[in-house]
Structure 1
Amino acid sequence: MRPNFTPGPFQAALALIVALWSAPGLAQTRALPVEVAPVTVTALADSIEAVGSLRSGETVILRPEIAGRVSRILFEEGRPVAAGTPLVELDASTYAAQVAVARADLALAEAEAERARTLFAQRAGTARARDEAVARLATTKAALQLAEAQFAKTRILAPFGGILGLRAVSIGDVVQPGQTLVNLESIDPLKLDFAVPETMLARLAVGQAVDVAVDALPGERFAGTVYAIDPAIDEAGRAIRLRALVPNADGRLRPGLFARVRLDTARAGESVTVPEQALIARHGKTYVYKVIDGAAVETEVSLGRRLTGSVEVVAGLSPGDTVVVAGQQRLRDGVKIEVVAPDGTPAQRTGG
């Protein structure tokens, strides 16, 4: 059985106060103190956030093409070198001997070919003898070229300018074809590899600017430019891979660094922005209180990009409007307001 409840004097007085405050006439006669801020117009860039990795502009692991013993190491680890600089020499004695033998064979073959031609011209030799001598000459020329090519491979040169890494061999090591000697990295400019969702495809183009930050150098930003877009979309991640060039003349950036990338896809022009604290979320929609003729008018807005401390409004507000940024919890549509400073003292109203 539900007990009877009789309100006491205090409850009755409280109910009367609430009823009077809720009356339309009283609500319109009392101005509520609020803080306001003007709608601002900001030039924003349409951008995409992504992560990626820095890579060498060119990179190679130097390996010998022939077997041999390391006789000289002509570089210092971690130092820059120019293209064509000799880096490693292998013992060339065997290959030099092969070149000498091939040259001797060539000299003999040339003499025999010349003798065969003379005899054939004097009708003292056969065409077959002449042709065999000419063929032997061609064979010995090819053998000499092969010996010289093998001899040249005993000197390993830098294929491009860059910075050398850490060597993996010492003087006296006997190396085999394909064995690692040292890596060479070209780091100016660096390549930046990153990926964006496939839904961004229509917004991508070669030549777009990228802004790069790396955790190794906090607070610093580096500029780059997209120069290639992979034509194939990654089916596993539903992403599009892009590659940009990032100038690195001072060498502060290094290959392999993790990069946070902002890709500027287009200029959005001037955009209306308001402080985040002006927003009111209700029933899946977003509202602000716009100041019009000293009253707070509830206005639905559509939002764009989130910024630091503010947000873009794409519909609902115009430049020159003023919105409530503090005190809106007590407001209703059409309520009179009094603009105050953060310390509660009256302030001159700046809008509406």
Structure 2
Amino acid sequence: MFFMILGVGGFLALLIGWNMLGKYMAGQAAANMTIPPQTVTSTRVVSEPWQGEQKSVGTLRAAKGADLAFDVSGIVTEVKVKSGAEVSEGQTLIELNADDLIAERRRLEANAALLKVDLERARQQLAYKGISQAEFDRAKASLTAAEAGVSQQQALVDKRRLRAPFSGRVGIVSLTPGRYVNSGTAVLTLQQLDPIMVDINVPQVQLGEIKPGQTVVLNLEAYPDKPFIGAVTAISPKIDPATRNVAVEASMPNAEDLLRAGMFASVAIQVGEPQTYMTLPQTAITFNPYGETVFLVKHSGKKDAKGKPEMPTAQSVFVTTGVTRGDQIVVTSGIKDGDEVVTSGQLKLKNGTPLIIDNRIQPPNNPAPAPQEH
């Protein structure tokens, strides 16, 4: 019995010793294991001006626009404008047949000219008491009535001429001489596009920050690399009860003639005074339930056994973030200007991971990125 107990005890001692030896060997292996380096991109933290913005969308419309029509019906005799032409206020664009009206106007003009001669003769006779004052007054009234008839007839002639009510650009001209036009039918579009207006809808909660004169930056898919700069010109005095939005109007210079009425645009209204913030690409931030972190690139300044500089290592730090702008994000604490921060590849990092910095391809860091067509 004694030898049995002794044998069992020896076996247990051997088992415990073997287990301890295994743990020791594993610890030694772990201690000697090196963390493989990881390739990442990095950037330096810089403070830069930051302009607060209220973003929305807008629709462009002409500063002045009209679908032109005749007040009367008639046959087109002359089209004096081409499609897309620039015209001046008062310029004749299209004429209808007015031969009969012009002939009647000439008859009335001749009659008025005769009455004018009669009035001058009556004036001379009145000076010599050759006629009474009443006869002179009748001659004067006859001339006035005749001249009014000429003006009335000229107005009828003018209704056969379609004139530009303001300077601008005409649309597509499809009329040709000989075509019959009904009164009230739109025959031509005229729009004034410089400046061009932008209609913007802004949530009521943002109303207190928006004022006339503030800068408006416009981005369009048609010109992804070209922002357009304008200004707020008016704010509607009422709020739409259905959407709780307020209408804001902006004016945009269009001297290059790139903007067209009806275009859809992304709008940023600059509000408040410019501030200076530390910024990073949004890809540099790791968002966790317990807070936001970034990986700093730490250079030891030491050299290895071969005399080469040691590889930099990763160090995780907590940061406090703020507002975003395009691809960028504000960092208010946790880092400082000049710190080198990992901008991509941080998912495979932990504290102490050796880093290979490869900045040939950087993540986007544009404060105002434009949508890309695919």
Q: What TM-score do the two structures reach when normalised by structure 2? A: 0.67
Counterpart for residue 23 of structure 1: none
Q: Which amino acid aligns with 1:220?
A: D
Given the alignment of the two structures, is residue 91 of structure 1 paired with residue 91 of structure 2, yes or no?
Answer: no
Q: For each residue in 1:185-240, what CA deviation from the matched residue of structure 2 results, as whole angstroms up to 9, or x when unmatched?
A: 233332222222222223223333333222233x3313221141223233332223
Structure-2 residue corresponding to 1:3: none
Query: 1:339 deviation in Å?
Result: 5.6
Once the two structures are TM-superposed, the CA of residue 271 in structure 1 deviates from its matched residue by: 0.5
Counterpart residue number, 1:229: 234
- Closer, same or farther in 2 for the Cα pair 1:316/1:226, shift >3 Å? same
**Is contact 2:319–2:332 with CA below 8 Å preserved after alignment?**
no
1:338 Cα shift?
A: 6.1
1:315-334: per-residue Cα shift (whole Å, max 9, x none)?
Answer: 45443556677668986xxx
Matched, 1:340 2:358: no
**Which residue is 1:249 aligned to?**
255
Q: State the distance in 1 between where 2:299 and 2:258 align.
A: 57
CA distance in 2, matches of 1:275, 1:100: 79
Describe the shift of the 1:260–1:95 C-alpha distance in structure 2 as closer, same or farther (beyond 3 A): same
Q: Which runs of no fewer than 5 residues in structure 2 stay unpaired?
A: 1-14, 301-313, 359-374
Q: What is the deviation of 1:304? A: 2.0
Relative to 1, partners in 2 of residues 1:179 and 1:121: Cα closer, same or farther, differing over 3 Å?
farther
Identity %: 24
Identify if the C-alpha distance between structure 1 residues 289 and 224 changes in structure 2 by more than 3 Å, giving closer, same or farther.
Answer: closer
* 1:291/1:297 contact within 8 Å kept: no
Matched residue type, 2:268: R
TM-score by length of 1: 0.70
- Cα distance, 1:181 vs structure 2: 1.8
Q: Number of matched residues?
A: 318
Q: Could you tell me which residue of structure 1 aligns to residue 309 of structure 2?
A: none
Aligned with 1:183 (options 166, 189, 201): 189
SS of the aligned residue for 2:162 comes to strand
Equivalence for 2:305? none
Query: Does the alignment pair 1:48 with 2:54?
Result: yes
1:347 matched residue in structure 2 = none
Q: Deviations over 1:38-78 (max 9, x none)?
A: 53323222222222122223322222233332111122223
> Quick one: structure 1 residues 84 and 301, their matched pair in 2 at CA, closer, same or farther if it must change by over 3 Å?
same
Secondary structure of the residue aligned to 1:301 is strand
Distance 2:144 2:297 in 1: 97
Q: Give yes or no for contact 2:212–2:235 (8 Å, CA) kept in 1.
A: no
Partner of 2:219: 213
Mapping of 1:126-275 within 5 angstroms?
Answer: 127=134, 131-217=137-223, 219-232=224-237, 233-275=239-281
Q: 1:102 to 1:279 in 2, by over 3 A?
A: same
1:60 aligns with 2:60: no
Q: 1:170 and 1:38, CA in 2 relative to 1: closer, same or farther beyond 3 A?
A: closer
Q: Structure 1 unaligned runs (5+)?
A: 1-7, 21-25, 344-352
Separation (CA, whole Å) in 2 of partners of 1:291 and 1:105 = 99
Q: State the alpha-carbon separation in 2 of the partners of residues 291 and 54 from structure 1.
A: 47
Judge conservation of contact 2:70–2:185 (CA < 8 Å) in 1.
Answer: yes
Paired with 2:181 and 2:342, the residues of 1 have a C-alpha distance of 77
The answer as to whether partners of 1:222 and 1:246 remain within 8 angstroms in 2 is no
Separation of aligned partners in 1, 2:153 and 2:295 = 88
Q: Name the CA distance, whole Å, in 2 between partners of 1:90 and 1:230.
A: 43
The offset of 1:283, in angstroms, is 4.4
Q: Does 1:301 align with 2:320?
A: yes
Q: Is the 8 A contact 1:72 1:88 kept in 2?
A: yes
Contact 2:278 2:332 in 1 (8 A): yes
Corresponding residue number in structure 2 for 1:348: none
